């Protein structure tokens, strides 16, 4: 069981549901980063897909030490629960001044589950903009694609380039659109990634002690006004790339995911989903 004080809170979870990622800047200490770089350079043996994470990266292992740190355990537990399964790892190395970068893509293939895997990315050294770190498109995780379907898109308004300091952790929903950018510096760029599958039903795994207050204190669920803050507001926020005609579909996707994660089938934000579910003939009369 992860230490309760390191679990995510409800607003962080809502942000993950809404935007498909969370980042934790400079979470891993400098000395650990330097050891991790040496370990990555020496080569990191991967476990077989489906191995419980607790059996991966046995000591002595700096990457294992990172994954078993209370902060990372809290993040992992909140999103995919206890002892998730190792899916795969990747050490992404981008050489200086390469001619091309990785095309925009989603990992794996079309995945219609509500359940989600996480991709935990670890940046062991500083990544300035010219080093062209991982690029991601916030809020794209529910636009289901097959791998390189979106490869012709070079830039999307609202995209985020991971410019960060050493020791930063990025956690992604498996469906998010992303790529590795060109490295225009004169140094090799490294990023270590591990994908994890949940081994339990993902429901209320984070620190939910703030849940009711954050849902209800700002705006009643069925109020006409757009919520200004709290979970409803986070789930109702628009990304710059959302098309005017279809942007509300993403709000619906987020509401459905929040219901899935909380088990609260009556949750709504600004009445968007309840309106679509209104079939009076199905109401149970008193």
Contact positions vs Fe ion (CB under 5 A): 107
Phi and psi at 212, nearest 5°, equal -65, -40
Nearer to Fe ion, 11 or 111 (CB): 111
Dihedral, 14, 242, 196, 32 alpha carbons, nearest 10: -80
Nearer to Fe ion, 137 or 233 (CB): 137
Minimum separation from the CB atom of position 223 to Fe ion (A): 40
Minimum separation from the CB atom of position 147 to Fe ion (A): 9
Nearer to Fe ion, 166 or 176 (CB): 176
Crossing angle for the helix pair 10-19 and 70-80, to the nearest 10 degrees: 60
Handedness of CA 32, 78, 248, 142 (dihedral sign): positive
Nearer to Fe ion, 108 or 274 (CB): 108
Cα–Cα distance for residue pair 201/209, rounded to 1 Å: 19
User: Within its chain, how far is the Cα of 250 from the centroid?
Assistant: 16
Minimum separation from the CB atom of position 21 to Fe ion (A): 13
DSSP-H helix ranges across 122-229: 211-216
- In what order do the strands lie in the sheet containing 21-24? 21-24, 168-173, 118-123, 189-197, 85-94, 51-52
Minimum separation from the CB atom of position 137 to Fe ion (A): 12
Minimum separation from the CB atom of position 107 to Fe ion (A): 4
Minimum separation from the CB atom of position 179 to Fe ion (A): 7
Nearer to Fe ion, 95 or 229 (CB): 95
Q: How far is CA 248 from CA 86, 135, 230, 255, 272, in A?
A: 34, 24, 18, 11, 8
Nearer to Fe ion, 73 or 107 (CB): 107
Q: How far is CA 203 from CA 80, 156, 207, 261, in A?
A: 9, 32, 11, 4
Cβ-closest position to Fe ion = 107
Minimum separation from the CB atom of position 280 to Fe ion (A): 46
For 282, the token pair is 């199905």
Backbone Cα Rg of the chain: 20
Nearer to Fe ion, 63 or 179 (CB): 179
Dump strand ranges (E) for the chain: 21-24, 51-52, 85-94, 118-123, 134-136, 160-161, 168-173, 178-180, 189-197
Nearer to Fe ion, 107 or 268 (CB): 107
Minimum separation from the CB atom of position 197 to Fe ion (A): 16
């Amino acid at each position: 069981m992860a230490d309760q004080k390191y679990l995510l809170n409800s607003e962080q979870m809502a942000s993950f549901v809404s935007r498909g990622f969370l980042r934790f800047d400079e979470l891993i200490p400098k000395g650990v980063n330097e050891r991790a770089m040496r370990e990555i350079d020496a080569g990191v043996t991967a476990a077989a897909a489906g191995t419980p994470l607790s059996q991966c990266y046995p000591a002595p292992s700096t990457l294992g030490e990172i994954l078993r740190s209370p902060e990372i355990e809290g993040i992992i537990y909140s999103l995919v629960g206890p002892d998730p399964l190792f899916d795969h790892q990747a050490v992404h190395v981008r050489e200086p001044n390469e001619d091309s970068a990785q095309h925009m893509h989603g990992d794996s293939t079309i995945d219609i589950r509500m359940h989600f895997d996480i991709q935990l990315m670890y940046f062991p050294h500083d990544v300035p903009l010219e080093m062209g770190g991982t690029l991601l498109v916030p809020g794209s995780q529910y636009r289901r694609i097959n791998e390189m379907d979106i490869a012709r898109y070079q830039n999307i308004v609202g995209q985020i380039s991971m410019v960060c300091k050493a020791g930063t952790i990025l956690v992604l929903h498996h469906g998010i659109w992303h790529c590795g950018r060109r490295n225009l510096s004169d140094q090799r760029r490294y990023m270590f990634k591990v994908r994890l599958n949940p081994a339990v039903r993902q429901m209320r795994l984070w620190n939910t002690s703030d849940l009711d207050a954050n849902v209800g204190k700002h705006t009643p669920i069925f109020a006409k006004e757009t919520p200004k803050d709290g979970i409803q507001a986070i789930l109702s926020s628009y990304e710059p790339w959302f098309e005017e005609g279809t942007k509300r579909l993403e709000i619906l996707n987020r509401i459905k995911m929040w219901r899935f994660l909380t088990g609260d089938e009556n949750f709504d934000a600004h009445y968007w989903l309840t309106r679509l579910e209104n079939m009076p003939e199905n109401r149970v009369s008193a």
